[in-house]
Structure 1
Amino acid sequence: MNASICLVAVRRGWTQRLRRPSPSLVPCCLQSTQPVAAARLPYRVKLSAGKRYAWCACGHSKKQPFCDGTHVSKAPTIQPLRFTADKDKAVMLCACKQTKGAPYCDGSHLKVIFQDLVKSIKGVFK
């Protein structure tokens, strides 16, 4: 479905009659289905034992690396990762949102940085 059809559907109120947004409407209505990188390097944070945290998995939060609820409007299919710290400690929490060991950084940002570098080099030679 293209963007103009999506805008017409929203203007006419068709999405209000749907219990869930149609998957075909989501991409053209400024909602992301893939996380976006909040930063290229991880965040170093101090966690407190027994405290519950919500790590932003979508990348849209203004309170990185933690969730501020922005995913509700920007990426409704991506939920934050809730976890409880087992002890007081300083950790590196992922900011690129590509880690396999969420919410902790596993070095995936190096791959993201490398991909950015390759894109910028290719842009020079176009």
Structure 2
Amino acid sequence: MTKGQRAGDSAIAVEVEKDKSYYWCSCGKSSKQPFCDGSHKGTEFTPLAYKADETKKMFFCSCKQTNNQPFCDGSHNK
């Protein structure tokens, strides 16, 4: 799988709400990081849907190099 361009160098903390869907930007081009704004159109990338199973703080990847999409796995430190 091709990984997107770096959009940041750290995780982005988001307070997700139970049963709400979030669409993580996989291309790295979105201006609404870590979420999709449609900037991937015309590329091989598509947003990754995540539905929260509870309300809590989650750490979304902004470097787009994670092996645990859409969440940070520390790949920005490598």
TM-score by length of 1: 0.59
How big is the shift at 1:34? Answer: 4.8
Larger Rg belongs to: 1
Q: Does 1:102 align with 2:72?
A: no
Q: CA RMSD in A?
A: 1.1
- 1:23 aligns to what? none
Structure with the bigger percentage of helix: 1
How big is the shift at 1:64? Answer: 0.3
Question: Structure 2: any 5+ residue segments left out of the alignment?
Answer: none
Write the distance in 2 (CA, Å) between the matches of 1:45 and 1:97: 16
Write the distance in 2 (CA, Å) between the matches of 1:64 and 1:44: 11
- 1:82 aligns to what? 49
Total equivalences in the alignment:
77
Is the CA contact 2:3–2:26 (under 8 Å) kept in the aligned structure 1? no
Regions of 4+ moved over 2 Å:
none
How big is the shift at 1:96? Answer: 0.4
Relative contact order, higher structure (CA 8 A, sep 6+): 2
Overall identity of the aligned pairs, in %: 45
Q: Deviations over 1:72-103 (max 9, x none)?
A: 04xx2011101100000101100000111100
Structure with the bigger percentage of strand: 2
Is the CA contact 2:27–2:64 (under 8 Å) kept in the aligned structure 1? yes
